[in-house]
Structure 1
């Protein structure tokens, strides 16, 4: 399980979606930080996060 924070979260997610992958979860915290999680069939997880625009 890893989370990577990026400056260009929406651009990153668009690239991932273009490859046919959909997130398992998408959260926005009270402070505006967003975290999007992807999981593979074995249960491995990677999250991408970014701050408010």
Structure 2
């Protein structure tokens, strides 16, 4: 099982630090807990993190 490191996310996406932290934690959780592939975990985590940041901005 591959684990995503921060540098891989920074190379793939230009994210602010809050979003980067959320993507990093979410993606690694998806890989460790659910066995997702690295690519799918990164895509899903990015979508989820963007939604979380938007919700936080509204509140």
- What is the TM-score when the length of structure 2 is the normalising length? 0.29
Q: Report 1 or 2 for greater relative contact order, CA contacts < 8 Å, sequence distance ≥ 6.
A: 1
Higher helix share: 2
